[in-house]
């Protein structure tokens, strides 16, 4: 038996006491899917589509029935998520080309910046789509500013979307695998001489474009935008889910001994839908269903990695989607033809690009093993609220401009969510307050015929009582003049009086 000096025993006891009084701050992971609708998970009513890993999160955490993305399109929602600010306050927060400059001011506070101040290591893996550089990017040098300049210690991303050039990964600002003797060039102004396009060379396409996606071809898929060179750096679409997953797992393992924040932004089920061969045919719904099965598997693999590394009990996981669903979003891929009885929008009206509920009401789950009591919550919450709520969690005094402190709601200790929320779709805005939804009058078509989604445009005010009419079929604006006036007054107080009757922007 070895006897330790009294001084060492006292020091050891002191360290144990300090550890108990100052437990390690929880790891935080945001898992963010792309174009996953309210009805695209079993936990949210899907019966034809199997999502056991997402369902497991929902069954073991808080499943929000009234959880919102900030926008019905991707870039604005991602901006709001990271900044805690309504996207309509930033005129550049709209769907961006792959060559767009960074739209988050590097001086602006963000979730990763706030967490870094509290001792966190911060990482992003997956889709970025918030712009890079200052507007004239040389992809053959370090691309800056980008994620690393707005708070992320580590980044492994695609610049924009899977259907946009450049079709390469960037790691901490550098294009991965790029060779100096084959420089990468990207343009959204015009094609490079001699480069084939989907419009001019359909015989080179393994996936045919339906609308908008007819420029440079890579991996047999025509894209939005033009690209030349950089052959050694081009991604393989079917490997993308695996590539992002491996980087996310590596990040977790590397940072397991310190508090970390991981923003894991999956690309599924955004177009082009390119499931790995392991998942082809897994859903019976064609590529869209298959990539949702693939995304669910990725969620399960992340959970497995956390468990294997002893991190599950000290990790808060937030799962959500950037906007509502869309079927045909630019390619012929049987998303419509093989849908069957599945309803990606659930019982809601609209979808991606829409001011109706299906545009922004999305799957929203918080999970923390042993810390969150499993429950279903009808509290209204927004991804905007993650900024201030996470700041509460880690003891930061920082708050997002439009972000509410709802930590108790996310932790299943309260059901008192937001009273009101402005939602956005292609620069149009609407109001959610209590049980009610107000859509101001907007010019433009009632439906986007290309994607077959109702946009919410009308020459009249629209007022819906969602507690009685979740599908938004009965406009009560005429029957409820007092409620209409109240909603308009609230809308003007937050949004200002400059709204409504604007021309619908072109959807791409």
Query: Looking at the annotation, which residues are catalytic?
Result: 74, 129
Bond preceding residue 145 cis, omega within 30 of 0: yes
The residue assigned the tokens 């009513």 is 45
Q: What is the DSSP secondary-structure string of 402-453?
A: T----HHHHTTS-----SEEEEEETTEEEEEETTEEEE----S-SEETTTTE
Q: Give the separation between CA 492 and CA 418, rounded to whole angstroms.
A: 18
Q: Give the separation between CA 156 and CA 165, rounded to whole angstroms.
A: 16
Q: Give the separation between CA 165 and CA 434, rounded to whole angstroms.
A: 42
Q: Are 52 and 300 in contact (CB under 8 A)?
A: yes
Q: Are 410 and 375 in contact (CB under 8 A)?
A: no
Q: Give the separation between CA 124 and CA 157, rounded to whole angstroms.
A: 7
- Residue 229, φ and ψ in degrees, nearest 5: 80, -165
Q: Are 117 and 109 in contact (CB under 8 A)?
A: no
Q: Are 197 and 209 in contact (CB under 8 A)?
A: no
Token code pair at residue 206: 């393994």
Q: What is the DSSP secondary-structure string of 249-309?
A: HHHHHHTTTS-EEEEEE--TTSSS----GGGTTSSSS-HHHHHHHHHHHHHHHHHHHHHHT
Q: Give the separation between CA 434 and CA 421, rounded to whole angstroms.
A: 9
- Residue 138, φ and ψ in degrees, nearest 5: -100, 105
- Residue 457, φ and ψ in degrees, nearest 5: -75, 140
Cα-trace Rg, the chain: 23
Q: Give the separation between CA 217 and CA 226, rounded to whole angstroms.
A: 8
């Amino acid at each position: 038996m070895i006897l330790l000096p009294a001084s060492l025993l006292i020091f050891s006891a002191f360290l144990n006491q300090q550890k108990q009084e100052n437990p390690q701050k929880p790891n935080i992971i945001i898992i963010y899917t792309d174009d996953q609708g309210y009805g695209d998970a079993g936990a949210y009513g899907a019966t034809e589509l199997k999502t056991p890993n997402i369902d497991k999160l929902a069954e073991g955490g808080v499943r929000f029935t009234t959880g919102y993305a900030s926008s019905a399109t991707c870039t604005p929602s991602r901006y709001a998520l990271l900044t805690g600010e309504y996207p309509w306050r930033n005129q550049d927060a709209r769907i961006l080309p792959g060559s767009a400059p960074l739209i988050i001011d590097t001086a602006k506070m963000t979730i990763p910046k706030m967490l870094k101040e509290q001792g966190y290591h911060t990482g992003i893996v997956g889709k970025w789509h918030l712009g890079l550089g200052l507007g004239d990017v040389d992809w053959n040098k370090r691309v800056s500013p980008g994620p690393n300049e707005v708070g992320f210690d580590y980044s492994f991303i695609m610049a924009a979307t899977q259907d946009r050039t450049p079709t390469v990964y960037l790691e901490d600002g550098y294009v991965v695998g790029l060779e100096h003797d084959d420089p990468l060039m990207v343009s959204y102004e015009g094609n490079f001489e001699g480069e084939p396009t989907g419009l001019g060379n359909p015989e080179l396409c393994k996936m045919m474009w339906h609308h908008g996606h007819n420029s440079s071809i890579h991996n047999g898929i025509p894209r939005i935008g033009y690209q030349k060179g950089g052959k050694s750096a081009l991604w393989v679409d079917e490997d993308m889910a695996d590539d992002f997953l491996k980087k996310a797992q590596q990040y977790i393992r590397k940072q397991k001994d310190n508090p970390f924040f991981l923003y894991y932004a999956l690309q599924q089920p955004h177009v082009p839908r390119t499931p790995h061969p392991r998942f082809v045919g897994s859903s019976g719904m064609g590529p869209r269903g298959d990539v949702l099965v693939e995304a669910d598997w990725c969620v399960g693999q992340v959970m497995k990695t956390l468990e294997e590394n002893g991190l599950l009990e000290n990790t808060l996981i937030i799962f959500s989607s950037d906007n509502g669903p869309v079927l045909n979003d630019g390619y012929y891929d049987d998303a419509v033809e093989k849908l069957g009885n599945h309803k990606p929008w659930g019982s809601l009206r609209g979808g991606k690009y829409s001011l109706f509920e299906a545009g922004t009401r999305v799957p929203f789950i918080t999970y923390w093993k042993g810390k969150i009591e499993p429950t279903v919550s009808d509290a209204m919450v927004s991804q905007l609220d993650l900024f201030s709520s996470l700041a509460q969690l880690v003891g930061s005094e920082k708050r997002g401009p439009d972000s509410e402190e709802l930590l108790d709601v996310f932790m299943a200790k309260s059901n008192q969510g937001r009273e009101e929320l402005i939602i956005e779709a292609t620069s149009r805005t609407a109001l959610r307050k209590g049980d009610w939804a107000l859509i101001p009058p907007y010019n433009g078509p009632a439906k986007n015929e290309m994607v077959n989604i109702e946009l919410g445009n009308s020459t009249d005010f629209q007022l819906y009582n969602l507690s009685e009419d979740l599908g938004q079929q009965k406009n009560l604006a005429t029957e409820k003049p007092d409620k209409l006036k109240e909603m308009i007054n609230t809308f003007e107080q937050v949004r200002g009086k400059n709204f409504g009757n604007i021309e619908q922007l072109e959807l791409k």
